[in-house]
A and B are shown apart, each in its own frame.
Chain A
Amino acid sequence: MATTDSVFESSSPSVRPGTELLVLLAAMTPEQREQILANLATSFPADGLVIASPDELPTDSEAPFRMIAAPASETSWTLTAADFINAYQLAEKNEARAILMLSRESGSLGPSALRDLANAVLAGSTDLAVPCYDLPPRTGLVNSAIFYPLGRALFASPVRFPLAVDLGLSLRMAERLATAAHRLTALNQAETPLWPVNEATVAGFAIGQFDVGLRTLPQPGGPDLNTILPLLTGSLFSDIEAKAAFWQRSRQLPPAEKNRPMSPASPPEAATDIAPMLQAFRLAYTNLNEIWSLVLPPNSLVGLKRLSTSDAAAFHMPEGLWARIVFDFVLAYRLRTINRGHLLGSLIPLYLAWVASHVNVTASGVDPASHIETVAAAFEADKTYLVSRWRWPDRFNP
């Protein structure tokens, strides 16, 4: 079921029989794949489907679908430039009209979720079908703290998970993403994530967001937050820089979405100990202040100073302060104020401070989704700050 405003798709159109959908699966265990195939079998007529998988194909001639080989992706926890190139090439080769990209652990997506995502793009009214996952309250917080608020503020996009790992794509959307991906592969950045929602927004393509319920997100195997956060924020900030001429124009923000309650099926989470996060933040306040002072204006630095002496129980990062911090990091990334790796690394303790603050806020009884909406609203309200700083990046500012 779609949950978006009138610009977004609000229903799942029926699919013409015989339509050709390419389902591109990520590498996964046989059990996971079996589950997905079973769900697909429930959702779609077999003759309209081609499944592409990098795993060994079943030798069983009774496989319900036509199966083809797909190149394996080196990155398993998010969709990368290489994945989008593969998707478009396979779709073209197999004359598919639309594509459904499913990542690891997508067995947790039920048949109706698969139908929603695929049917929207097969019907032709939507170019990009994006899932809205029900996640436990303290999962996907990088998305909640940075990606979603930036997407809303800059691209007027209500998509809750801009970096969703499952997507429905029309052929023209896939082509556009493949073109964008080629630019990255030309720079030897095939494993860099793409930002399909931003791409679709700039192209003026129709985007649909669909509630898909619970989903277990694939987790990065090796890399930790120190690697993942710079990788993802660097990729997003680059995309923002490339699309500056678009997002700086005045656009109508969509009406605020209703708060999404967290899944009732999610078990209550144990209390999170914020002490290590605060310790990291305080240590960084001592060690990284010199770097932050190159990036952040005096008001933000004063705000951080106050936070650094705040008790754990009372620790709260004002939403406006967080928005300005992220905006100033976006700007410093564009201006190459300091080495980009160092810059993004120095964002990590600030992010941990936001997480600690979020934990405190939600522990006080505020609905996590509501708090995330408040954060996003702060980003929206202060977009003019980023635009003015972007256009005139003078260090002499408040």
Chain B
Amino acid sequence: MKKLGSATDPLWYKDAIIYELHVRAFADSNGDGIGDFPGLLTRLDYLQDLGVTCIWLLPFYPSPLRDDGYDIANYVDVNPSYGTLNDFKAFLDAAHQRNMQVLIELVINHTSDEHPWFKAARIAPPGSPAREMYVWSQTKLLYKDAGIIFTDTETSNWTWDETAKAYYWHRFFSHQPDLNFDSPEVMEEVLKAMRFWLDMGVDALRMDAIPYLVERDGTSCENLPETHLVVKKIRAAIDAEYGNRFILAEANETPADVRPYFGDGDECHMAFHFPLMPRIYMALRQEDRRPIIDIMAETPAIPDNCQWGLFLRNHDELTLALVSEDERDYMHIAYSNDPRMRVNGGIRRRLAPLVDNNRRRIELLNSLLLSFPGTPILYYGDEVGMGDNIYLGDRNSVRTPMQWNSDRNAGFSKCDPARLYLPIIMDPIYGYQTINVEAQQSDQSSLLHWTRNMIALRKLFQVFGRGTLHFLNPANRKILAYLRDLDHGDGSHETVLCVANLSRFAQPVSLDLADHNGAEPVEMVGYVPFPIITDAPYVLTLAPYSFLWLELQPSHENPAS
């Protein structure tokens, strides 16, 4: 008998609105300056009201926190700073009661060097099962073709361990030794950890750093066939024992390289579309739809039970790993002219500062996020336009405490401000006195209300999560126009025309909609009927950075259409 998740529809993740947050950054209930599960629980009503249907929690496990929790020291417990296992269960139950699902991290490429497995491996004899849980070598030349990811801090993927008298492999920080998936013990332990959380009722797992699970000499040690076998084994275990759950792949690769992680629908249910994100920003700055069209043209079809995960920003830098050198230069100049805004080649800024806090640009980008084929993922704080702090190290610039109100510590914590895990944003533009949830809740015209309304609107139309995409090709390249269509299988279709003006000036556009001759476009926000489509070009004028979502309905004047 399969253990079902809290959602009733097996494909629920296609219609989900995912909200990414760090427990540490969201709400502190005990005044120690660090967010925790009891604090998060008190904010669930806010998330429900916003329209969130799935909460993605960044790692909350015991950890020395040298990589914000991605250095795990125990896979089956909660970091005491965030609460207890019982606190997590209470949060999980409360989320489910509000019809929200919970997505957690399954960071299995590596552990912390303080994990008991690594401590045991260092002193275990070479070749023993305990030792073999990690990747060891006597030479740094092994796997020399693999690139270094954290170029700002690491010079090699190997680090010498004096106790083990050997080098250990780490694709990320040197304090994060990679697990060895050639060891059967590793797979067994990974499945054990996975079952621990799924049995508790967790609905989804994000598989961190998935391309790097297996290493082979003479290769880039990325996306290897053996890695796909590991993923298939994990998926098979889930399918055999659980229902209505999903796995999300973090593979910062080109769409063609990510495609295999869906397998034949037997690997990951969802994968991030990494290269789309920088190209959306590029299209906006260049006022040209071409970067978006090009990357979507390179995006292969995926199995019916699979989905892309879309985002504008997240807890990491805005990665530029998948753009050309010229494009990277352009993005650096356009969006991060201060070198402090950059890390690991990417841009460590939040959404609002990236677009100069321009409300119309924020809305336009969100309209793309909500109407492109995939599941939208919002990063905490972006719904109110939170800013960043580029004077904090690493990616902490975008990991500051959530700004709830204009009280001390932005309502995040009652502690002495000096105790906060990171300082609150206090500058005059994005500071918590200006940008906070409470103020925006009272302001009907706020970004928060706008975001909530747009999420609610998207949720009314399944076509956004499940429909096909077809780009139109108007002469004016400042206009991005596309059709989303969902065939209900009973002869009826749900069809939406999305038109976005990427320019800072008003733009005309003439669309070829002859295939929909006779249909009546109804503007979806205000339910306003537009002129009926004919064989003639359909002419629209869009205000600067504006967008239109038009549902193509059968015309009442022309029932035959």
Choose among A244, A250, A388, A394 the residue that contacts B460 (Cβ–Cβ < 8 A). A244
B525 in contact (CB, < 8 A) = yes
Choose among B456, B527, B553, B554 the residue that contacts A388 (Cβ–Cβ < 8 A). B527
Choose among A244, A384, A396 the residue that contacts B527 (Cβ–Cβ < 8 A). A384
Chain B residues in 8 Å Cβ range of A249: 494
On whether the beta carbons of B453 and A392 are closer than 8 Å, the reply is yes
On whether the beta carbons of B453 and A387 are closer than 8 Å, the reply is no
Interface string of B390-432 (1 = CB under 8 A from A): 0000000000000000000000000000000000000000000
Q: How far is the CB of A3 from chain B (nearest CB, A)?
A: 25
How many contacting A-B pairs (Cβ < 8 A)? Answer: 34
Q: How far is the CB of A169 from chain B (nearest CB, A)?
A: 22
A391 and B525 in contact, given A245-B459, A245-B461 (Cβ under 8 angstroms) = yes
Interface string of A362-398 (1 = CB under 8 A from B): 0000000000000000000000100110011111100
Cα-based distance from A324 to B512 in the complex (angstroms): 38
Chain B stretch 518-561: residues in CB contact (< 8 A) with chain A: 522, 524-528, 553-554
Residue of B nearest to A396 (CB): B444
Chain A residues in 8 Å Cβ range of B139: none
Residue of A nearest to B449 (CB): A394
Choose among A384, A391, A395, A396 the residue that contacts B457 (Cβ–Cβ < 8 A). A391
A248 in contact (CB, < 8 A) = yes
Interface string of B441-484 (1 = CB under 8 A from A): 00011000100010011011110000000000000000000000
Chain A residues in 8 Å Cβ range of B461: 245
A388 and B444 in contact, given A244-B460, A245-B460, A245-B461 (Cβ under 8 angstroms) = no
Cα-based distance from A394 to B553 in the complex (angstroms): 25
On whether the beta carbons of B528 and A388 are closer than 8 Å, the reply is yes
Choose among B449, B525, B554 the residue that contacts A250 (Cβ–Cβ < 8 A). B554
Choose among B444, B522, B527 the residue that contacts A394 (Cβ–Cβ < 8 A). B444
Cα-based distance from A248 to B525 in the complex (angstroms): 12
A391 and B453 in contact, given A248-B460, A396-B444 (Cβ under 8 angstroms) = yes
Q: How far is the CB of B444 from chain A (nearest CB, A)?
A: 5
On whether the beta carbons of A391 and B527 are closer than 8 Å, the reply is yes
Chain A residues in 8 Å Cβ range of B462: 245
Chain A residues in 8 Å Cβ range of B453: 391-393
Residue of B nearest to A204 (CB): B490
Q: How far is the CB of B18 from chain A (nearest CB, A)?
A: 19
Interface string of A278-320 (1 = CB under 8 A from B): 0000000000000000000000000000000000000000000
**Among A245, A249, A391, A395, which residue has the most Cβ atoms of chain B within 10 A?**
A391
Cα-based distance from A393 to B526 in the complex (angstroms): 10
Chain A residues in 8 Å Cβ range of B494: 249
Cα-based distance from A245 to B459 in the complex (angstroms): 8
Cα-based distance from A99 to B415 in the complex (angstroms): 62
On whether the beta carbons of A387 and B527 are closer than 8 Å, the reply is yes
On whether the beta carbons of A391 and B526 are closer than 8 Å, the reply is yes
On whether the beta carbons of B526 and A250 are closer than 8 Å, the reply is no
Residue of B nearest to A388 (CB): B527
On whether the beta carbons of A388 and B459 are closer than 8 Å, the reply is no
Cα-based distance from A384 to B554 in the complex (angstroms): 16
Q: How far is the CB of A379 from chain B (nearest CB, A)?
A: 16
Chain B stretch 479-508: residues in CB contact (< 8 A) with chain A: 494
Q: How far is the CB of B106 from chain A (nearest CB, A)?
A: 30
- Please list the residues of chain B having a beta carbon within 8 angstroms of any beta carbon in chain A: 444-445, 449, 453, 456-457, 459-462, 494, 522, 524-528, 553-554
Further 4 A-B residue pairs, CB within 8 A, beyond A391-B524, A392-B453: A391-B457, A391-B526, A392-B526, A394-B449
15 A/B residue pairs, CB under 8 Å, sorted by A: A244-B460, A248-B460, A250-B522, A250-B553, A388-B526, A388-B528, A391-B456, A391-B457, A391-B525, A391-B526, A392-B526, A393-B453, A395-B444, A396-B444, A396-B445
